Amino acid sequence: MKFSLFFSQKLIPKNSKQVSKPVVAISIITVALGVCILLLTFAITTGFQKEIRDKAVGFGSHIEVVHFDNNYSYESSPVFISAELIDAIKQVQGVVHVQPFTTKAGIIKTENDVEGVLFKGIDADYDSLFFVKNLVNGTFLTLSDSATSNDVLVSETLAKKLRLDIGQKFMAFFVQNPVRQRMFTIKGIYNTGFETYDKTHIICDMAHLQKLNDWKNDCVGGLEILIDDFDKIDRMNETISDVLPYDLQSSTIIDRNRDVFDWIRLFDQNVLILIFLVVITTGVSLISTQLILSLEHISTIGLLKALGCTTSVIRNVFLFLSAKILGIGILAGNAVGLLFCFVQNYFHLIKMDPGKYYVSYIPVDVQWLHVLLINIGAVLISFAVLVIPAHFVARRTSAISALRIE
């Protein structure tokens, strides 16, 4: 083994006139590109899925409990909340937070514009982290159980469309019998980049919507439930459903945004196709380089055989030579891929249309397990495809014929 490693160092092409030198350079570039592409593919795919999933959850929580006859309507039937119901849900292992909400469709009228929107009412117990993170101006709502606040959060999309700004008031009309109206003041402007929600949602004090619906304080539109592990969402939804009264139903954020989650699941299929193409391209390049190196040193193989070297020793010589090519390519691919991820994550150089992709820039999320698996996979697959041609050349080459060529 030591001899094979030592001798492989002597075969590394250093003369520019050697045929194998540009071929080795191309092979190194191919390996580097393959590793870099896979790193970026996994980081971007994971980033996209995580970013879109977090935005959907930020607007609607992991699991939602509503009245059985709601059918995802904006005008919801009241859910009577009791301490016993809240405690039963909180006792389910994995539940992090439970918060009430109410939604109601309305119409905003300004001096020059009219726009249909969806008011989402929240209370003082609402987990505001998502909206605080995405505020671009103003502050989050300050709510209390003792007084009703007229402050609201509007999206930057709506604010620009209706020419509204922080501190301005606007009139909202609610179509019911009789038609009612409320005056609201803009306290904060948010921008999540999730256009599906940004263009319609206004966050307000839930007490307003309860009064508009003629509900008591213990009646709400539903409950939002946050959990600690998104991967367990289906199992937890079934568990929560078991503790609910007969007239309530629970649904996951995936059920309520089926088209969005079906779309991001397609990313996984694209990753598999890309992995297949990278493996084929890199494998062909490495095998070609291996064969060219073997043919260039055919007389050396004959000499080694004449000196008594076994097939395995000669095979290992060329495997060590290929390992150096592979190592340089893998290191270069990791360096370029991780550098791009770092730059994109902090500076958001590559922008996207949030109206089409739900994000304003390409998100990246480097999972070190993915990096490790890509590198291990690259090494194992490369050696798997290199062993056969190396062994074939070492075994089939005749010492006498090889020396005659020289």
The single residue listed with the structure tokens 């495997």 is 319
The confidence score (pLDDT) of residue 16 equals 47
Q: How far is CA 238 from the centre of its chain?
A: 25
Residue 378 is which amino acid? A
Give the residue among 301, 293, 287 at the shortest CA–CA distance from 397: 301
Domain ranges of the chain: 2-55+261-405, 69-245
What pLDDT shows up at residue 193? 87
Produce one character per residue of 28-43: b if its CB has 16 or more CB atoms within 10 Å, e if not: bebbbbbbbbbbbbbb
Q: Which residues have a Cβ under 8 Å from the Cβ of 152 and sit 6 or more positions away?
A: 119, 141, 184, 185, 186, 187, 202, 203, 204
pLDDT of residue 186: 97
DSSP letter at 176?
A: S
User: Which of 106, 87, 93, 29 has the alpha carbon at shortest distance from 281?
Assistant: 29
The pLDDT tens digits of the residues spanning 81-115 come to 999 999 999 999 999 999 999 999 999 988 888 99
Partners of 106 in beta bridges: 117
Length of the chain: 406
- Looking at residue 43, its pLDDT comes to 96
Contact 65, 319 (CB under 8 A): no
Question: What is the β-pairing status of strands 114-122 and 201-205?
Answer: parallel
Nearest to 319 by CA among 3, 8, 2: 8
Whole-angstrom distance, CA of residue 28 vs CA of residue 322: 10
Which secondary structure element, helix H or strand E, spans residue 186, and what is its range?
A: strand 180-190
What's residue 17's pLDDT? 52
Q: Which residues of the chain have pLDDT under 70?
A: 1-20, 70-74, 297-308, 310-311, 314, 391-406
pLDDT tens, residue by residue, 49-66: 999 999 999 999 999 999
Q: So what's the pLDDT on residue 293?
A: 77
